Amino acid sequence: MMTMDIREAYRRALDHFGVYVHQVKADQWRLPTPCADWNVRTLVEHLVGESLWAPELLAGRSAGELGDLLDGDLLGDDPVKAFDVAAAAAVRAMEPDDVPTRTVRLPFGDIPGEEYITELFADTLIHTWDLATAIGGDDRLDPELVEVCTAWFAGAEESYRQAGVIGDRPLSPDHADAQTRLLAAWGRSGRLEDEGAPEGA
């Protein structure tokens, strides 16, 4: 199995997601996505929110301290610019060498920075496929990132499913490739009409 700094994996996933954000046409923001109840705009806003929270949480602030600071419309009149600005801030926040060993204070408890970044990376990677699928783009993910995510998610899948964060694992053929198997683990069958993942997954 390949090894990769999780911060680099996250940066690459965020960059790839951004490519599709820039491809969204004016009439595509309300299109449905594989995430139940989320359209393209809602999906992009989810990633913008995560990106805006990252610098605050990595700086030691707790989710409780942030409160509703980042509630409301995060995209405004220029969703693409909003994403670019938020993503750049998140990437900058990952740069200090000690970030992976910092403590991140989430609502359900404290976790190491490395685990937090890994969760952000995985969420971004899977939502990249969601966005590409929704707008009719090339839905092939970076094979190296798929490998990194697969290795981590093998130990997290059941806890995610028990928490209701992902849908049931759909059947996939024995000869399915690595991306298809990863998407299945996340409750996605590869078809937009099968909205296997509940909101937020």
Instruction: State pLDDT tens for residues 10-38.
Output: 999 999 999 999 999 999 999 999 988 89
Give the per-residue pLDDT at 176. Answer: 87
Q: What is the pLDDT of residue 108?
A: 84
Residue 199: its pLDDT value, please?
Answer: 40
Query: What is the reported pTM?
Result: 0.90
Render pLDDT for 63-98 as a digit per residue (tens, 0 to 9): 888 877 778 899 999 999 999 999 999 999 999 999
Whether the predicted pLDDT of 179 surpasses 60: yes
| Residue among 63, 51, 57 nearest 112 (CA) | 57
Residue 194 has pLDDT above 70, yes or no: no
Residue 177 makes CB contacts below 8 A (sequence gap 6+) with none
User: Helices marked H in 24-112 — which ranges?
Assistant: 40-58, 63-66, 79-93
- The pLDDT, as a whole number, for residue 2 is 58
